[in-house]
Each structure stands twice: as C-alpha cells, then as structure tokens.
Structure 1
Amino acid sequence: MTTRITAAPSRGTTVPPQIPPTTRRRLGRWFAATGWRHAIGVVMVVFAAFPLLYVLSASLNPRGTLTGSNALFSQVGLDAYARLLDNPEQPFAAWFANTLTISGVTAVCSVFLGALAAYSFSRMRFTGRRTGLLTIVLVQMFPQLLAVVAIFLVMSTIGDLFPAIGLNTHVGLIMVHLGGALGVNTYLMYGFFNTVPSSIDEAAKIDGASHARIFFTIILRLVAPILAVVALLSFIGTTNEFVVASVLLVDPEKQTLAVGLYTLVSNPNYADWSAFSAGAVLAALPVMALFLFLQKYIVGGLTAGSVK
C-alpha cells in the first residue's frame, strides 16, 4: 500500500483557480447550443466595422496619405476636413447639396411611381398584366451599366430639343434613375401589396370609395414598411451611383458627391486620400440619418406585414 504525498505550495506562490468539471460541461453545452452564434456575430461585427474605422482614421490623418493610417488613430486632426471645405476649386458644399436633391427627389418619385404600378398589377385585371410582370423581371436581369452609351445618346438628343432635361442637368439624371429603378421597385412592392387582403378594397368599394381614395387613404398606410424600404434603398443607390452621373454631369458645380470626390484621387501623384475619406464620412451622415428615421417602419412594419 502506497501513500501519495502532495507537497503544499510554498508561501508567495499563486495557485491558479481550477474550473470544476460541472462548470466545464455547462460551458461546453452553452457553446454548442448558442455560444458559437455569439462568436460568429462578434467576428462579423469586427469584419464589418474595421473598414469604417479605417476610413474614419484616414479622414482624421493630417498627412493626406493612407500609409500613415495603418495604425488606427495614430494622428488625429481636422486638417482634411478643412482642406475639403475651404478649397474653392472643389465645391464640396455644392456636391453635397446636389446629392441630397437628386437622391431625395429620386427616392420620393420612385416610391410614388412604384406604388402606383404595384397597386395596378396587384388589384386590377387588364390585358397584358402577366406579360408586363414577366417583362419587368426580365429587364432587371440586365444591369444599367450596359445601357450607358444608349442613355448618353438619348439624353443628348433630348437635350437638343429640351435643354432643361438633357445632358448636364439634374432633372435628366433623376429621370434616368427613375427609369432604371422603376422595374425592381414595382416588383418588390407588388409582392407586398398582395399580402394586403382584397376584402379591404371590397369593403371600401361598397362604401362608395374609388380606386384613388382606396389607394391614398387605405393601402398606402398598410404598406408603409415596403415604402420605407424602397425609399431607403433608392436613396442609398442614388447617393452611391457613379457611372451614369459621371457621364451625364460634366459641370463641376452640378456634380454629385461620388463624382466630385473622385476628382480628389483621380491623379495618383496628387491624390488627397485624407480629404477623400473626410468626404466619404460626411456623405454617409444623410444615409445614417435616414436609416435611423425609417428604422421603426423597417423593423416593426416588416415583421407585422409578414404575418398578414
């Protein structure tokens, strides 16, 4: 018979705490059930937040280069914002105002026109209805980039007849954006309009309401979530659009933020990346404000509409 003798720890040494086996099993079961989801969520948040932090750090870097921004927030200053706002050759305020105007008008008109078309396809029966829906789906298969040359030629011809809506005009660019987004917005709204019971329309018709009154007073209130989603997506897409805006808008005073900020880095020898990053940060503020304003409709309304 042998006796195991365990030496007592000497004074001044720290014994690491031992995790009981029961606690280990509980942690293992928790990680297998839900813990791995939290781990993936943390990784995705870090993956998504790092580019934003890098751009913010680059906008606060007074040196104007990206090489000094590798160490996040190693140098902090507002010199880039001052250069961006005080440069007379680069009218940032005009770019910002042009972007807000074009994006706002496009978002409102896209929602209104898309809602009218979706209501017609959802509630009315007419010849060519099915063909029209299939055509909308097929047209969305082709990106708008393929039609840039055709858009330029059409707008150039229209400009010869009606200069107010031709090339180098905000109205012309808004019309192009409306035409490109009308199909996908209509199809997106059409699916949501179908979730609204048609018995509501029938009850309103019995009371003597017309299609216009049903649409404006009843249907639009019930489909507010999809209207908010379409408005947000249209605003973001128009704000970020570069190719069509760079082709149609030539005058620097009429350009949008995407086109104007590109001029800051178009020349590799004199690229001011800090000012470009500062402009990108300022351009993101309206989008964030609109998202926060429409959040209650997007989150609460979509979940309510999904169970109608």
Structure 2
Amino acid sequence: MSTASISEAVAHANRKTPLAKRLASQWWRHLLGIIAVVFAAFPIVYILSASLASGGTLTGSNKLFSSVDLGNYSQLLSDPVRPYGKWYLNTVIIALVCAVATVFLGALAAYSFSRMRFKGRRGGLLALMLIQMFPQMLTVVAIFLLLTWLGDVYPVLGVGSRTALIMVYLGGALGANTYLMYGFFNTVPASLDEAARVDGAGHARIFFTIILPLVAPILAVVGLLSFIGTFTEYVVASVILGADPNTETLAVGLYQYVSTETSSNWGVFAAGAVLAALPPMILFLWLQKYIVSGLTGGAVK
C-alpha cells in the first residue's frame, strides 16, 4: 500500500471517530499545548502592557492593559540625550554584517572540512569543538586589553569602534557555526562534486553553484542565530563600545533607563524592548520554513 493510500485511510478513520472520543484520548496533548502557549506568550503580553502603562514602573502593569498610553514611546523617540534611533541603526547594521559574514566565512570553512583532506583537518575540527566549551564572556578582559593595544596602531580596531565589535563577534561565532554547518555539508552526496569535476568544475564553482543552494536551510539557521545573538548581546558590547551614545547598541543604550534606582523608567525601557523585538521577529517569520530542516538535517549523518 502506498503512503498516500495509508494517509487517506487514517484520515477516513479519524473522520468516523467521534470528536468527543478523540478529545478524551488526546486531552493531555491539548493541555500541554495550551500551557506552552501561555508560558511563552505571558512575558510578551506583560512587556507590551508595561510599555503602554504610564508611571514608569512595572507595578502598574500587574493588571494587564489597565491603561493605554503612548507616552512612553513618544518619550523614547524624542529623547535628545539618548538617541534611540541611532542605537537602532547601529544594532541593525552590526547584526546584519555579523550574520552575513558568519554565514559566508562559516560556509567556506565547513566546505573545506567536509570536502577537502589536508594536514591538520582532524585537529582543526577538534579545536572547533573545544572552543565551543568556553563562552566568549570569559575573554572580555583579554579582548579589552587587546583592543586597547590595537587602537594605538589601528584606531578602527580600537575600543569604541563598531568595526572592532563586529570582529570580536565574528571570532566568537565562527567556531560553533562552522561545526554546525559541517554536519549539514556532510549530508550532501559527494557524488555531486565528482560529477561536477568530470565536467571541469573547480572548487569555487562547485561551492557557489551546487553546494550553497542545497544547504540553504542551514545557512538560514546560522544567519538567524547570529543575527539574534548579536542583536541582543550586552556584555561584550558595553565593554568595547564604551559610553559614546553615537556608537552604542540597543542593549547598551536601553540599560541607561533602568541602571539607577533614582532614574529608572521601566515604561520607556519596555517600549524600547517592544520596538527592538520587531527585526528578529520579522526575520524569524521570514526564515521559519528553514528552521526545522536546518537544525536537524546534519544530525543524521
């Protein structure tokens, strides 16, 4: 019996089974689904309510949407001392550049480890695995001292430079993302490469015209993870960028609204967080069809 016939038989049996009986046997699935939706949606609803509440504190948001006021958004966008628009632009540029560069450089490295055989290949793969064990936060002091020294020689790579921040992000992300893409590249049959070489194609042509289209799901996943990770990162950005409002990112800039007890304004902070969530959400919805296949495709090799 074909797969289509089996699917039709199962669908026919489900139609004949009473709805109440199906719910009685599968009620726990619906309960778990409802709990998961409530658990995931409550923080979003709460922060949206806080952004629309006046008063500048979170206590007024305990009753969700008890008041609707756009004053927090108006204050956020019109603050002359804290340029939210500049922070937004800086964050989007840094996140996009890191995402594109991570995907491109990681794909090149993954293709090399997957398709080429060279001295040090196994050691390089082992090094990538070991690098993933240590978070980038452990090297913040060393990175700061290194950039302080580099800034004296190359100011564009010194403390306070967005270019330096991008380089640090790339260095911390390439290890994990390269190994993730390496597993996916291994699922592409090597016979495709061999057929292309028979036709006279080199590594560059094989990589750009054959391999990249086939591994689009993992490229989308790596790009999305890189974008979200750099878009919301705070510790490294606060150390490297310093206190210049014109170079700060959203995470560093918004913290100023809640950094002191005397000048905390959680309403404005919530409004900024709501607006900051839009780019990752849009990108996630756009790449949603690639997420599952990209994360699981390299796990079966």
Q: Give the alignment's TM-score, normalised by structure 2.
A: 0.90
Whole-Å separation in 2 of the counterparts to 1:306 and 1:31: 36
CA shift digits 1:24-47 (9 cap, x unpaired): x98577444x22011001001101
Q: Secondary structure at the match of 1:205?
A: helix
What is the Cα deviation at residue 305 of structure 1?
7.8
CA shift digits 1:200-248 (9 cap, x unpaired): 0000000000001100111000000000000000000001110000000
Where does residue 243 of structure 1 map in the other structure?
235
Where does residue 272 of structure 2 map in the other structure?
279
Whole-Å separation in 1 of the counterparts to 2:19 and 2:181: 47
Whole-Å separation in 2 of the counterparts to 1:280 and 1:64: 14
Cα pair 2:147 2:164 within 8 Å, conserved: yes
Where does residue 158 of structure 1 map in the other structure?
150
Residue identity in the other structure for 1:274: G
Structure 1 residues 77 and 193: alpha-carbon distance in aligned structure 2, compared to 1, 3 A threshold: same
Q: Secondary structure at the match of 1:64?
A: coil
Where does residue 97 of structure 2 map in the other structure?
105
Where does residue 48 of structure 1 map in the other structure?
40
Whole-Å separation in 1 of the counterparts to 2:272 and 2:220: 26
Residue identity in the other structure for 2:250: L
Structure 1 residues 149 and 307: alpha-carbon distance in aligned structure 2, compared to 1, 3 A threshold: closer
Q: Secondary structure at the match of 2:63?
A: coil
Where does residue 231 of structure 1 map in the other structure?
223
Where does residue 284 of structure 2 map in the other structure?
291
Whole-Å separation in 2 of the counterparts to 1:150 and 1:63: 42
Cα pair 2:53 2:65 within 8 Å, conserved: yes
Work out which of the residue numbers 49, 67, 83 in structure 2 matches 1:75. Answer: 67
What is the Cα deviation at residue 86 of structure 1?
0.4
Output the aligned Cα RMSD. 1.9
Unaligned 5+ residue runs, structure 1?
A: 1-24
What is the Cα deviation at residue 192 of structure 1?
0.2
Q: Secondary structure at the match of 1:214?
A: helix
CA shift digits 1:110-141 (9 cap, x unpaired): 00000000000000000111111011101110
What is the Cα deviation at residue 253 of structure 1?
1.0
Residue identity in the other structure for 2:281: M
Whole-Å separation in 2 of the counterparts to 1:273 and 1:29: 46
Structure 1 residues 29 and 222: alpha-carbon distance in aligned structure 2, compared to 1, 3 A threshold: closer
Work out which of the residue numbers 172, 179, 186 in structure 2 matches 1:187. Answer: 179
Question: In percent, how many aligned pairs have the same letter?
Answer: 65
Aligned pairs for 1:115-134 (under 5 A) are 115-134=107-126
Q: Secondary structure at the match of 2:106?
A: helix
Residue identity in the other structure for 1:263: Q
Q: Secondary structure at the match of 1:80?
A: helix
CA shift digits 1:55-107 (9 cap, x unpaired): 00000012211110000000101000001000101100000000000000000
Whole-Å separation in 1 of the counterparts to 2:252 and 2:100: 22
Structure 1 residues 133 and 165: alpha-carbon distance in aligned structure 2, compared to 1, 3 A threshold: same
Whole-Å separation in 1 of the counterparts to 2:296 and 2:30: 23
Say whether 1:263 aligns with 2:263: no
Structure 1 residues 302 and 155: alpha-carbon distance in aligned structure 2, compared to 1, 3 A threshold: closer
Q: Give the alignment's TM-score, normalised by structure 1.
A: 0.88
Structure 1 residues 184 and 166: alpha-carbon distance in aligned structure 2, compared to 1, 3 A threshold: same
Query: How many equivalent pairs are there?
Result: 283
Residue identity in the other structure for 2:258: V
Say whether 1:253 aligns with 2:230: no
